[in-house]
Amino acid sequence: MSRELFVEWLSSIGELLSNNSYYIHSEKYKSFVFKQLMDPYIEHFEPIYKHIDISTYKKCMAFFRKLCKVYNISYEYKIRYSCSSYYIDYYFYV
């Protein structure tokens, strides 16, 4: 599996920021899953990673972090507090 495919996945699910990074948050993930745009990417990664579970935002970001380590892509997360809830937002630097 190529690094380019993972970067394409990041670009489709995330918002491109000015510093060539992608911003992903739980609302964007939910809309991506709702539109069933996740399936083509999962099909490409299934031969290598047999049991991919991206059923929740938390599990999907864990899989993204794993791929970042494989492809040497840096990332960071920030905790956002809104309406009495905490959200974890990710920034992937390609």
Kindly report, residue by residue over 16-29, the tens digit of the pLDDT: 998 889 999 999 99
Kindly report, residue by residue over 8-59, the tens digit of the pLDDT: 888 888 889 988 899 999 999 999 889 888 888 888 877 777 777 888 899 8
- Domain edges within the chain: 3-93
Count CA atoms within 13 Å of residue 30 on its CB side.
Answer: 3
Burial letters for 31-49: b for 16+ Cβ neighbours within 10 Å, e otherwise?
Answer: ebbeeeebeebeeebeeee
Contact of 32 with 38, CB cutoff 8 Å: yes
Compute the radius of gyration of the chain from its Cα atoms. Answer: 13
